[in-house]
Amino acid sequence: MTAENNHDIDEWMELMFEAKQAGIAIEKVKTFINQHNNILKAALYPSKIRNNVRKNEPLI
């Protein structure tokens, strides 16, 4: 193997590591959203919740 090949392999391994880290971060965001779904909906759509309260419907 040449030094250039070694460099390419190192770069590939680094890219794969970064891709794995990005995938883990995305999963953490998905989990957070799922766990806090009602709170996030309330923050994003307060008028919808007010309207539902006025109609005596469930909040979410």
Tens of pLDDT, residue by residue over 27-51, are: 999 998 888 888 877 777 767 656 6
| Token pair in block for residue 44 | 């994003």
| Residue 8 domain-assigned (yes or no) | yes
| Residue 59 domain-assigned (yes or no) | no
| Residue 60 domain-assigned (yes or no) | no
| Residue 28 domain-assigned (yes or no) | yes
Whether the Cβ atoms of residue 33 and residue 40 lie closer than 8 Å to each other: yes
Whole-prediction pTM value?
A: 0.53
**Residue 48 CB neighbours (<10 A):** 13
| Residue 20 domain-assigned (yes or no) | yes
Domain residue limits at 17: 3-54
| Residue 23 domain-assigned (yes or no) | yes
| Residue 17 domain-assigned (yes or no) | yes
Number of structural domains (the chain) is 1
Q: Going by C-beta distance under 8 Å and a sequence separation of 6 or more, which residues neighbour residue 60?
A: 38, 41, 42, 49, 52
Whether the Cβ atoms of residue 24 and residue 18 lie closer than 8 Å to each other: no
Mean predicted lDDT score pLDDT of the chain: 81
